Chains A and B, each alone.
Chain A
């Protein structure tokens, strides 16, 4: 399901909200990342992060996997292929707005 269709050129309002852009940036660097690590990196509360993750999940961009370590429940997040493609298209759109064709986030 898609919460909000991306604009032409790859710019994506679902992804562009500051916290969601950073969540996507972290997800694009890894195969899977734990919710607590993302929360620590973004310095946001669990409830705020949870809301952003829900928006991304409802857009079909992120999946969540529940696991348990040492009796503590943990949630792992990962991009769907659609999410990764949408994020990269969005970054390309941002680069086009800035006016560069280089790819600083892939360095």
Chain B
């Protein structure tokens, strides 16, 4: 990418061509951060936590609250470890809202369906929801890694 150039080697106002080249380099540098491959353990850990959180709905109410809070805290720690190892902490505002909605909508719908089934005495809905939610995260992880490998 950039050379090991001396400091302040370009201390003049650029021409339009130089400015365009600088903007291209900026764009390339920023897009290169988005092409970092997330490790497979990250998706497996998030899938396990999400599945366990969903299954915790089968526990008595008080236990559900405690277990859910504990699992959410563990999930936060997993995400923190991931950022720490990746060496990049994203800006919340920079995360594409479209992707967040696409990723979370199926999870919310499946969880609502499980809650509706539970209300009518069909608690097995939580087991199905746990499998679907975990599977969705693993699928997203597989897709993410495949896309980045294909573009490498």
Chain A interface (Cβ < 8 Å from any Cβ of B): 7, 11, 13, 16-19, 21-22, 25-26, 28-34, 36-37, 41-45, 48, 51-52, 55, 69, 74, 76, 91, 94-95, 97-99, 104-105, 107
Is the C-beta of B121 less than 8 angstroms from some C-beta in chain A?
no
Counting contact residues on chain B (CB < 8 A from A), the size range is 35 or more
Cβ contact within 8 Å between B1 and A17: no
A43 to B32, CA, bound (A): 13
Contacts A17-B9, A30-B88, A43-B3 given; 12 further ones with Cβ under 8 A?
A: A18-B9, A18-B22, A21-B25, A25-B25, A29-B90, A31-B92, A32-B89, A33-B87, A36-B87, A51-B7, A74-B87, A98-B16
Q: Which of B9, B22, B87, B91 contacts A34 (CB 8 A)?
A: B87
Cβ contact within 8 Å between B30 and A28: yes
Chain B interface (Cβ < 8 Å from any Cβ of A): 1-5, 7-11, 13-16, 19-20, 22-23, 25-27, 29-30, 32-33, 84-92, 94
Q: Within 8 Å CB of B3, what residues of A? A: 18, 43-44
Q: Within 8 Å CB of A95, what residues of B? A: 19, 23
Closest residue on chain A to residue B11 by CB atoms:
A13
Chain A interface, DSSP helix/strand/loop, else mixed: helix
Closest residue on chain B to residue A97 by CB atoms:
B19
Cβ contact within 8 Å between A16 and B7: no
Cβ contact within 8 Å between B16 and A99: yes
